[in-house]
């Protein structure tokens, strides 16, 4: 389920956080559903258990998951909303990329056409 | 918790470690990295109670380590080059370990040996270098020790064995709350194993923190502008290193990613690339500030 690059420049705990959010946003992990345990995730990713636990603590702090003592971690009802809110902050990444593309000579229309394409893809997925 | 206070160790009047203060939390996998001759092995042997510090104190859960059998019984140590007498097998080693360490698990030892494809009846001295190291690792893990010390043990294991032992150590940490300390001169050997890290240089601590902290608070930045750019534009950023190639600035910046990105974007660059510093780059950079570089010494030796 998770795919982590242990030697990436991106910290492992950040990769676990990002991927958990992606899995929730995509509906793979649903509200109320349990996340893999620290033990099983640490074993399957060959990652340090303290690093995995740190990622879960951060997700808990953000309200995306909640930890039930002795039972494990579960996706919260509000998870999708929180992820959506956080994703809005990343819109500035899009403008940075667009500026780069425009500097390289790609027109605004071409970029908009590309965005429209993504939109229909997402809608199609939603209908199915 | 292992605590070192003002620890100093010299050999032949040459200080190998000076005034080391460290705390190693229980349940962590702690890495000791450093340049050649930085004092990594000496530090590990001090913590294991093999060497006596000249000055300062070393405690494990508040009990002194030196000449304290109660603490030493909870320590497993794998040296850089494990030694096995010529006729000793894993099984006969296990029998003598059982006499020395009450917590030693004989069955676990034989199972681990079989799982690793090692014949526990054969003399370990007939094994290859890598297999000898595996044998030493298996014996150490079977000790069910609270503290596991590995001196350059991961260096030179093949990827399959490396992953296997990494998981076995993680298992000890998860199931028993064991603490592992691993030394290596290569940060690549440590970065996916450890959660905390200390970097030594010339017998002193250069840096100590969580591994993930390094990657999330140091960035390598490439930035260029259309027009001329003044130095003041980087104000408010903690710039640790700066060089300029043609019109491209290369910066090493300390700070949170979001904050660094926002501040740099505000300067309206024509080109901006922000990458987390890899552990190896961090190591090279930190030691550069200590005057240890890959560049030849200026003027050279005459």
pLDDT, tens digit, for every residue of B158-171? 888 889 989 999 99
Tell me, yes or no, whether B99 and B233 share the same domain: no
B163 Cα to chain A: minimum distance (Å): 7
Tell me, yes or no, whether B72 and B92 share the same domain: yes
B125 or B287, which is more confident = B125
**Most A CBs within 10 Å: which of B29, B192, B258, B268, as the mutation test of the A interface?**
B192
- B160 in Cβ contact with B9 (< 8 Å): no
Residue B163 sits at the chain A interface (C-beta within 8 Å): yes
Among A6, A38, A51, whose Cβ lies nearest the Cβ of B195? A51
User: Is B300 inside a domain boundary?
Assistant: no
Residue B95 sits at the chain A interface (C-beta within 8 Å): no
Q: Which chain B residue has its CA at the smallest distance from A92's CA?
A: B262
Residue A50 sits at the chain B interface (C-beta within 8 Å): yes
Contact residues, chain B, for A7 at CB < 8 Å:
188, 191-192
Distance CA A101, CA A107 (A): 8
Distance CA B152, CA A106 (A): 52
Tell me, yes or no, whether B207 and B250 share the same domain: no
Residue at a domain's end among B165, B182, B212 = B212
Tell me, yes or no, whether B100 and B241 share the same domain: no
Test B277 with A9 for CB contact under 8 angstroms.
yes
Distance CA B224, CA B239 (A): 16
Which segments of chain A have a pLDDT < 50? 128
Whether the per-residue pLDDT at B195 is higher than 60: the answer is yes
Distance CA B60, CA B22 (A): 12
Tell me, yes or no, whether B262 and B188 share the same domain: no
Tell me, yes or no, whether B262 and B161 share the same domain: no
How high is the pLDDT of residue B293?
75
- B39 in Cβ contact with B200 (< 8 Å): yes
State mean pLDDT over B277-302.
74
State mean pLDDT over B193-198.
93
Residue at a domain's end among B181, B212, B243 = B212
Tell me, yes or no, whether B125 and B222 share the same domain: no
State mean pLDDT over B132-146.
94
Whether the per-residue pLDDT at B228 is higher than 80: the answer is no
Among A38, A43, A92, whose Cβ lies nearest the Cβ of B167? A43
Tell me, yes or no, whether B208 and B219 share the same domain: no
B109 or B239, which is more confident = B109
DSSP calls for chain B: -EEEEEEEEEETTEEEEEEEEEEE-TT-EEEEEESTTSSHHHHHHHHTTSS--SEEEEEETTEE-TT-HHHHTTEEEE-SS----TT-BHHHHHHHHHHH-TT--HHHHHHHHHHTT--TTSBGGGS-HHHHHHHHHHHHHHTT-SEEEEES-STT--HHHHHHHHHHHHHHHHHH--EEEEEES-HHHHTTT-SEEEEEETTEEEEEEEHHHHHHHEEEEEEE-SS---GGGGTTSEEEEEEEETTEEEEEEES-HHHHHHHHHTT--SEEEEEEPPHHHHHHHHHHHTT--SSPPTT---
Instruction: Read off the pLDDT of residues B35-52 as tens digits, 9 standing for 90 and up.
Output: 888 999 999 999 999 999
User: Is B170 inside a domain boundary?
Assistant: yes
User: Is B299 inside a domain boundary?
Assistant: no
Among A6, A11, A50, whose Cβ lies nearest the Cβ of B27? A50
Count A/B contacts: CB-CB distance under 8 Å. 62
Whether the per-residue pLDDT at B198 is higher than 60: the answer is yes
Residue at a domain's end among B212, B240, B258 = B212
Cα-Cα end-to-end distance for chain B: 49
**Most B CBs within 10 Å: which of A6, A49, A99, A104, as the mutation test of the B interface?**
A49
| CATH number of the domain that residue B110 is part of | 3.40.50.300
B195 Cα to chain A: minimum distance (Å): 6
User: Is B152 inside a domain boundary?
Assistant: yes
B81-103 burial: b if 16+ Cβ within 10 Å, else e? ebebeeebbbebbbeebbeebee
How high is the pLDDT of residue A128?
45
| CATH number of the domain that residue B273 is part of | 3.30.70
Tell me, yes or no, whether B283 and B143 share the same domain: no
Q: Considering chain B, what is the average pLDDT of its residues?
A: 90
Tell me, yes or no, whether B162 and B218 share the same domain: no
Domain at A12-82: CATH architecture: Orthogonal Bundle (1.10)
**Tokens 């001759």 -> residue:** B37
State mean pLDDT over B238-259.
88
| Of residues A54, A48, A59, A50, the one with CA closest to residue A22 | A59
Q: Locate CATH 1.10.10.10 in chain A.
A: 12-82
Q: B276 lies in which domain range?
A: 214-289
- B178 in Cβ contact with B146 (< 8 Å): yes
Test A39 with B174 for CB contact under 8 angstroms.
yes
Can you tell me the ipTM of this complex? 0.82
Whether the per-residue pLDDT at B302 is higher than 60: the answer is no
Test B193 with A43 for CB contact under 8 angstroms.
no
Test A50 with B272 for CB contact under 8 angstroms.
no
B127 Cα to chain A: minimum distance (Å): 27
Among A43, A46, A51, whose Cβ lies nearest the Cβ of B212? A51
B165 Cα to chain A: minimum distance (Å): 10
**Most A CBs within 10 Å: which of B154, B174, B182, B265, as the mutation test of the A interface?**
B174
Among B212, B215, B270, whose Cβ lies nearest the Cβ of A103? B270
Structure tokens at B100: 């020395």
Number of domains in chain B: 2
- B174 in Cβ contact with A38 (< 8 Å): yes
Distance CA A27, CA A47 (A): 25
How high is the pLDDT of residue B161?
87
State mean pLDDT over B165-184.
94
User: Is B113 inside a domain boundary?
Assistant: yes
Test B212 with A10 for CB contact under 8 angstroms.
no
B85 Cα to chain A: minimum distance (Å): 34
Tell me, yes or no, whether B77 and B18 share the same domain: yes
Tell me, yes or no, whether B192 and B58 share the same domain: yes
Predicted TM-score (pTM) of the model is 0.86
């Amino acid at each position: 389920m998770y795919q982590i690059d242990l030697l990436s420049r991106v910290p492992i705990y950040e990769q676990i956080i990002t991927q958990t959010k992606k899995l929730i946003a995509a509906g793979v992990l649903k509200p109320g559903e349990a996340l893999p345990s620290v033990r099983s995730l640490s074993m399957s990713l060959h990652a340090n258990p303290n690093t995995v636990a740190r990622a879960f603590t951060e997700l808990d702090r953000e309200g995306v998951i909640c930890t039930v003592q002795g039972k494990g971690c579960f996706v919260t009802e509000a998870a999708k909303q929180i992820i959506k809110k956080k994703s809005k902050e990343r819109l500035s990444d899009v403008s940075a990329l667009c500026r780069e593309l425009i500097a390289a000579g790609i027109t605004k229309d071409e970029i908009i056409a590309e965005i429209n394409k993504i939109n229909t893809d997402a809608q199609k997925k939603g209908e199915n | 918790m292992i605590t070192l206070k003002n620890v100093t160790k010299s050999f032949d009047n040459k200080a190998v470690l000076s005034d080391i203060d460290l705390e190693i939390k229980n349940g962590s996998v702690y890495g000791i990295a450093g340049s050649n001759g930085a004092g990594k092995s000496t530090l590990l042997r001090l913590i294991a109670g093999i060497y006596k510090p000249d000055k300062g104190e070393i405690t494990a859960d508040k009990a002194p380590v030196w000449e304290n059998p109660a603490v030493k019984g909870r320590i497993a140590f794998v040296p850089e080059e494990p030694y096995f007498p010529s006729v000793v097998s894993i099984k006969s080693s296990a029998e003598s370990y059982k006499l020395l360490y009450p917590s030693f698990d004989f069955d676990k030892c034989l199972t681990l040996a079989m799982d690793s494809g090692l014949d526990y009846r054969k003399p370990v001295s007939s094994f290859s270098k890598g297999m000898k190291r595996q044998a030493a690792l298996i014996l150490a893990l079977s000790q069910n020790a609270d503290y596991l010390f590995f001196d350059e043990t991961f260096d030179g294991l093949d990827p399959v064995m490396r992953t296997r032992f990494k998981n076995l150590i993680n298992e000890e940490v998860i199931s028993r709350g064991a603490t592992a300390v691993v030394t290596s001169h290569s940060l690549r050997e440590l970065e996916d194993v450890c959660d905390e890290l200390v970097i030594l240089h010339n017998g002193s601590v250069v840096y100590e923190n969580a591994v993930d902290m390094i990657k999330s608070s140091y960035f390598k930045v490439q930035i260029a502008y259309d027009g001329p750019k003044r130095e003041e534009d980087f104000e408010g950023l903690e710039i640790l290193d700066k060089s300029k190639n043609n019109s491209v600035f290369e910066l090493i910046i300390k700070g949170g990613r979001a904050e660094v990105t926002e501040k740099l974007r505000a300067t309206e660059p024509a080109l901006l690339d922000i990458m987390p510093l890899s552990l190896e780059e961090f190591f090279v950079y930190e030691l550069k500030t200590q005057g240890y570089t890959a560049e030849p010494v200026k003027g050279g030796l005459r």
